Structure 1
Amino acid sequence: MINYIIYVSFTDAAPDSITRLSTELAKYNIAGGIKADDGRGYFLPPGTFIYHGKETINEVRDAIHRLAETIQPGASVVATETTTISWTGLKEVPNPA
């Protein structure tokens, strides 16, 4: 499997565009959060997503761009293949009670 980080932004974004996109991408196991080695989860910055799959980087980029354009025209997408991810300052996903 290949690890991808994807960033999506919209020209003149409507207030709910990223939220709607996040909901749609979640249906395809494209997440707006990341899990640490200790099992704790963290929210990625708005418009940033992570995906593990076998598709090529161009297939991932193009599929997300097509979906984003159905949410709002004027989507920009950057996809990167990653081997190591490090972060700081991300908000932790609350642990459900």
Structure 2
Amino acid sequence: MINYIIYVSFTDAKPDSIERLSIELSKYNIAAGIKADDGRAYYLPPGTFTYNGKETINEVRDAIHSLAETIQPGASVLATEATTISWSGLKEVQNPV
């Protein structure tokens, strides 16, 4: 499996575009958060998502771009393959479901 970090932004974003996108992406196991090795989860900055799958980076990018365009036209998507991820200052998810 491949770990991806994906960033999505919209030209002249409407206030709820990223939230709506996050809800839709979660249906495909694409998360707006990240889990640490100790099991604790953290929120990513708005528009940033994680995904673990077998698809190629271009397949991931294109699928997310297509979905984002249904939320609001003018989406930009950056997908990166991640082998090591480190962070600081992210807000911890309290009482994850």
Deviation string 1:63-91 (CA, Å, 9 cap, x unpaired) is 00000000000000000000000000000
Instruction: State the Cα distance separating 1:25 from its structure 2 match.
Output: 0.1
Q: Structure 1: any 5+ residue segments left out of the alignment?
A: none
Q: How does 1:1-97 map to 2 (within 5 A)?
A: 1-95=1-95
TM-score with structure 2 length normalisation?
A: 0.97
Aligned residues: 96
The letter for the 1-side match of 2:28 is Y
TM-score with structure 1 length normalisation?
A: 0.97
**CA distance in 1 between partners of 2:82 and 2:9 (Å):** 20
Could you list the runs of 4 or more consecutive aligned residues of structure 1 that deviate by over 3 angstroms after TM superposition? none
Q: The residue matched to 1:94 in structure 2 has which SS?
A: coil
For the aligned residue pairs, the C-alpha RMSD in angstroms reads: 0.7
The letter for the 1-side match of 2:48 is T
